[in-house]
Structure 1
Amino acid sequence: MASIGTLKQVKENKFEGRLLFATFRQPIPVSMHRVNKVSDNAPDFRMIAKNGTEVGAAWIKQNKQTGKEYISVSISIPELNSVVYGTLGKMSEQNDDSLFSIIWNQPNSAIPSNYLDQSDYGAGDFGGSQSSYDQDHVDAYN
């Protein structure tokens, strides 16, 4: 699991930190603050870069197995050419409960599904349904 950012909770509904991508020379300073939802699907948080550009959003979700809440993050920066998904989690090896990492949720597989006979393994072995990232790779090879 790769960390693509670090955030510190500075208020109950506000985080500040930076995004870290190998393709950029410098970290991107950001703040993430709670917003009023205008619909059920609207984000709970907006992520704003230091220059004022919105670069992401986040949703409070509930783990279906444990019932525990977590924050799912979506980052969209034009230079990345795609949306990057992550999960906000407590930063490892820290005693400070206000420090968080954005953990990159990598696509299930970069191998096109037509290269594998999924019937031999069962769909569950491939992470369930394909992400749009995977489908784009499948379409590129067909």
Structure 2
Amino acid sequence: MLISLGTAYNDRPEFYRAVLDTAAEQPWHVVLSVGDQVDRASLPTAARNVEMHASVPQLAVLAEAAAFVTHAGMGSTMEALAAGVPLVAIPQMAEQRANADRIVELGLGRALAPDGLDPGTLWATVAEVAADLHVRERLG
């Protein structure tokens, strides 16, 4: 499971805290890329099933990922599609919102609003797309 809000608009410490506070309860190995705008020392300690990094080799991680929680930037979206990985889009700006809408329209994943995102909703949506055979067929 890869979670990344990209490189430009990733200053979302509250989002990363919510992920870190609840990831231990999840069945996945989570790779969390927080960027360089957030002080990782200010975030909770990562659970055993979580790797937290400033950045990751995204293509290599996607090759092993069950799903991708993403900001839905064009580069990240195209890399996920090329790897056949279902998407949970959490857009941070207008261009990303358009990409997220298209992801949903094409049945390649789901989209969630970034503000006030409940961790339970996030993880339920991740589980849904990771298990959705129709999404996998469209990506295949």
Report the TM-score when normalising by structure 1. 0.28
- Bigger-Rg structure (1/2): 1
Report the TM-score when normalising by structure 2. 0.28
